[in-house]
Structures are given as structure tokens and as C-alpha cells.
Structure 1
Amino acid sequence: MSFDPSSLKFNEAGLIPAIAQDENSGEVLMMAWMNADAVEQTLRTRRVTYWSRSRQSFWVKGESSGHVQELVDFRVDCDRDCLLLVVRQTGPACHTNRRSCFYTGVREGEEVELMAPLP
């Protein structure tokens, strides 16, 4: 069965959440948004492309930082309203220079930093 991007359920802004997961460790690296064109470009080039809501433009991960995400596997959830991108990550995924954007934990009501920025 061929994949039909129009079968995805985009929100009212034409966006769908995309979760990036490291192919080796299974670690969740980040979440960002994609529109239909970003989905198509990612599948075509195998370089993960997101839609920047703040800049209202495409954002090819690592284009300026060198912290590239190469697409290994593209998965659609059961409701077709969220994507899982299994990626080969080069360098940190987070703009704070951490491996993952999910570096803040909440323990007993207190925020705890779970990882420091990479050197």
C-alpha cells in the first residue's frame, strides 16, 4: 500500500507534531512541527525538515548548526495525527546544546536538570 500524505490529520494550522527518536538508544530527542511540504521534503531527501512556527519557514535540522537528523524510519501513529521520526542524530538535538530537548525532570514537585549542555 502506498503512503498517502493527505491521509495525515493536520491541525487547523496545517501542522502535525513530529517526535524525533534516536535510532540506536531509543531516546526521545525533540518534538517539532511539520506541514505537508515538510513531510514530503523529509521523505524525499531523508534530511529531516520541520516547519518553524516562529519564522514561518522550513527548517532543515542541522542546516546551520551541523547537528543533522538523517531519517532512518518514518512512522505514523494509529490516529494519523502524530509522527515518529527515527533518526541518526549528529551532535546535540536541542538548541541548548543538549542531547535531548527533554532535559528537565520534575521530581517531588521540583524541577531537576537531567543533563548538562555538551562541551
Structure 2
Amino acid sequence: MTRRALFYASAEMSDPREIGSDFLPRFDAAGLVTAVVTDREGGGVLMVAHMNAEAIAATRASGEATFFSRSRGRLWKKGETSGNVLRVVEMRVDCDQDALWIVADPAGPACHTGAPSCFYRRLTDSGLERVDG
């Protein structure tokens, strides 16, 4: 059996959510899924946020990323004040549908600090070090 055939054979015994074509997000206890956003052009990670059912629906309807802010307790459209929206090119869901991958075209810096990505620092033995690019 080929590797692909082995995958599908084992997947047939799994939860239908893992092999089917229905979008059935597996929300956590707070009603959220994690969303990882990457840049279509360069492929880099721009940010990580959370989405509830309403945020997913708003994103799909508008084509611009909307998230649920845990600190504010409400929906927020990325770029609602800065104009630095994330135009969604594609949304993917992981195997058990508890995380989303959003491929986007950013209309400016993704981070509220003005950095292109929220991941602008790396952890080193001496602490955090800024990374440009």
C-alpha cells in the first residue's frame, strides 16, 4: 500500500470531521479556535489570534479578517482603526478543525507596534532580540 493509501485507510476509521467536506469547527470551552495568519507573498507568519463562529462568519462575508479579542471581549476587524486590514486570500482548517490558517494580503503592518509581523523578536540565551524582516 502506498503512503497515501495508508493515510486514507486510517482516516476512514476517524471522526468524520477529519475526512469529510463539512466545515465543523471544534471550538474550545470559550467558543474559540486559534487562527494563524500568514502573508501570501512571503509566506511568513503575520499574527496569531482567535476566532469564534461570529468572527469566522464576518471574515467569510467581508473577505477581511475579523477576530474575537479575548481582552476586549468583542469582535474586532483587523485594521478597524489603523486601516491595516488583512485581505483574506484563503482559509484552511487543520485535520481536526480546531485551528485555522488564514493566508492574507496585508494592507500594512500586521502588528499594532508597526512591525510587519507580530513575531518581530526571537528568544535568545540573553533574552529577546529584535529581528528585522
Q: TM-score, normalised by structure 1?
A: 0.89
Residue 99, structure 1, aligned to residue 99, structure 2: no
| 1:35 alignment counterpart | 52
Residue 90 of structure 2 aligns to a residue whose secondary structure is strand
Distance in 2, Cα, partners of 1:40 & 1:3: 15
Matches within 5 A, 1:6-45: 7-45=24-62
Structure holding more helix per residue: 2
Distance in 2, Cα, partners of 1:62 & 1:72: 16
Q: TM-score, normalised by structure 2?
A: 0.80
**Which one has a bigger Cα radius of gyration?**
2
Count of residue correspondences? 114
Task: Choose the corresponding residue for 1:82, options 99, 107, 128.
Answer: 99
- What amino acid does structure 2 have at the position aligned with 1:88? D
> Superposition RMSD on alpha carbons, in Å?
1.6
Distance in 2, Cα, partners of 1:76 & 1:38: 15
Shift of 1:79: 1.8
Shift of 1:87: 0.4
Distance in 1, Cα, partners of 2:104 & 2:30: 25
